[in-house]
Structures are given as structure tokens and as C-alpha cells.
Amino acid sequence: METMQFLIGVDGGGTGTRVVLADARGVELSQAAGGPSGLGLGVERAWQAIEAACAQAFASAGLGLQWRHCALGCGLAGVNNRDWLAAFLARAPHLAALEVQSDAYTTVLGAHGGEAGVIVAVGTGSIAAALDESGACRTAGGYGFPSGDEASGAWLGLRAIVHAQQALDGRASADAFSQALLAHIGVADRDALVLWLCEAKQTDYAGLAPVVLDHCDHPFAAALLAQAGADIAKLVDALDPLGRMPVALCGGLATALAGYVPASHRVRLRAPQADSAHGALELARRATLP
């Protein structure tokens, strides 16, 4: 191992990357953010985003990035794909230490301070994870877009655009919700929408989630949000059927969706102690232990 001077925690997903920089004792020096580094978008792109965000964190602390003096802990979307993970590790720079886990693991690690608990992370995608008393981590959901990731931004957007489609061809009444969806993606007619649908990616659909939330009183949107809350409860039950562990709702949509979680599960929600990037920082610290 090279002389380790810095710990770096990286939380990388399909929408963006967050970095926490600390010294060798774990004293936080700075934070930074950058473009997406989920492995599903490509390993080269992931490393470019991580390096750019890390360089920004070092610059904010008045330092220069030298990988060989860094222990890097990464919580990344997509590491469950073994080929993507192998390719990511193969392209790693020369580091003092490296540990890579799923962003679900680093999220639950940060949210409950390394103690037992459940998280449901809802952002561009979604996944649930539980850490038990022995330190073992289990997950539920997170199968990816478009078939999985229930209650995520992309899940909401994929289903919301159906209302706009039906409004365009007369199966539903054109209203403020359908118009807002179409305005958000910059289309005004059927042909333009078909072109958008042919090109749209996960992040494009996730971009429609705020439109759904802005029109939460619309029957179509309200039904989607109610289903999202029910799906969050199902994820929790899959990992903690006896209801004994605290639950943290995490991710960019956590605050917005908390009110749609059924009351039976909402009473168990606890604010996360720390985020996934800080969980990844703990991962980096552990990677340096003998």
C-alpha cells in the first residue's frame, strides 16, 4: 500500500456523483459533485466523472489530486453486473486502497451509522437494503430500468408519459398535467412525442418526476404516487417482515415521497444519520485497516 494521506468517499448514480474528501484521520476537508458515474452509463464515463469530482474536492481544499496517496471507497449503481464491475476495477488508477460496493450498501452504512437498519433509496432508480446485526447486507428491488426500480423518478416518469400519450390522441382529456409533461420535454404533437420516446433514456424519464409531484392532486398522478408509497412499503417488508428495524428513506425523492408511504410504515421512518457519500467514506476507511 502506498502512503495513505487522504480518504475519499464516492456516491455514484445515474444522475450525478457526490464526493467527500477527508484526511487520513477521517477529518472532513471538502465535498464536491459532478456528472453521473453509474456503471450502466459506461465505465470510462464513470471514471471521468469520479476523477473530475475528486479533483474539484481537492481544489476546494487547496490541494492537488494524487491518486497514489488516496484510499477510495465507492458506492456505485450497477456493481451488481459483474462484467461492469470487473471493467471498472481494471481501469482504476494506482491507489493506496480501493473498495467498491453498491450504492445501496454505502447508503445503508451511512444512514444507520453502521448499525442494523433498512433503507429505501429513491432517486433516478431505486433499491432497498438492510444491514443486520452481524453486518450482513441484503437487498430488495433494484432490478433496473425499465422493468424495476419501483417508486423511482424514472418509474414515475415512464408511467406519467402515458397520460400525455392518451391526451394527445383523445383517450384522455387534455389538461394541465398532460400539457406540463409535454412542455417539459419540448413536444407539442404525436410525431414529436414518438421521436422523443424513441430516444428517451432513464434520466429523461426521471426528469418528469417533478412534474408528477407538481400535479399531485391530479387523479392520474395521485394514483402513481400512492402506488410508489405502497411499493416502498413492500420493499421494507421484504427485508424486515417482522418490522423490528428502523427505516430511512434516502435519495433525491425521499422527502417528496415520504408522505405517500402507508401510515403503518411511515411511523418507522427515521432521518438518515449520513448520506451514501459518507457511507462510502467509511468504506474507504475500512479499506485501510489491516
Whether residue 1 is predicted with pLDDT greater than 70 in this model: the reply is: no
Q: How confident is the model at residue 4 (pLDDT cuts 50, 70, 90)?
A: confident
Q: Is the pLDDT of residue 93 over 70?
A: yes
Location of each CATH 3.30.420.40 domain in the chain: 6-113+273-287, 153-266
**CA distances for 76 relative to 31, 46, 220, 251, angstroms:** 17, 9, 33, 13
pLDDT of 157-189, one tens digit each?
999 999 999 999 999 999 999 999 999 999 999
The percent of residues in the chain predicted with pLDDT above 70, rounded, is 99
For 6-113+273-287, CATH gives 3.30.420.40
Residue 14 has pLDDT above 90, yes or no: no
Could you tell me whether strands 117-122 and 126-131 are parallel, antiparallel, or unpaired per DSSP bridges? antiparallel
Q: Is the predicted pLDDT of residue 46 greater than 80, yes or no?
A: yes
Q: Is the pLDDT of residue 191 over 70?
A: yes
- Per-residue model confidence (pLDDT) at position 24: 94
Mean pLDDT to the nearest integer, 15-24: 94
Domain 153-266 belongs to what architecture?
A: 2-Layer Sandwich (3.30)
Q: What's the whole-number mean pLDDT along residues 30-35?
A: 96
Average pLDDT, the chain: 94
Burial degree of 235 (CB within 10 A; 0-12, 13-18, 19+): buried
Helix axis angle, 103-111 to 276-287, nearest 10°: 100
How confident is the model over 116-144, as pLDDT tens digits? 999 999 988 899 999 998 888 999 998 88
Q: What is the pLDDT of residues 227-283, one digit of tens each?
A: 999 999 999 999 999 999 999 999 889 999 999 999 999 999 999 999 999 999 999
Confidence of residue 55 (pLDDT cuts 50, 70, 90): very high
Give me the pLDDT at residue 140, please: 95
pLDDT of residue 2: 58
> 28: exposed, middle or buried (C-beta count within 10 Å: 0-12, 13-18, 19+)?
middle
Could you tell me the strand order of the sheet in which 28-34 lies? Answer: 28-34, 17-23, 6-12, 70-76, 97-102
Q: Which residues contact 242 (CB under 8 A, 6 or more apart)?
A: none
Percent of the chain with pLDDT over 90: 87
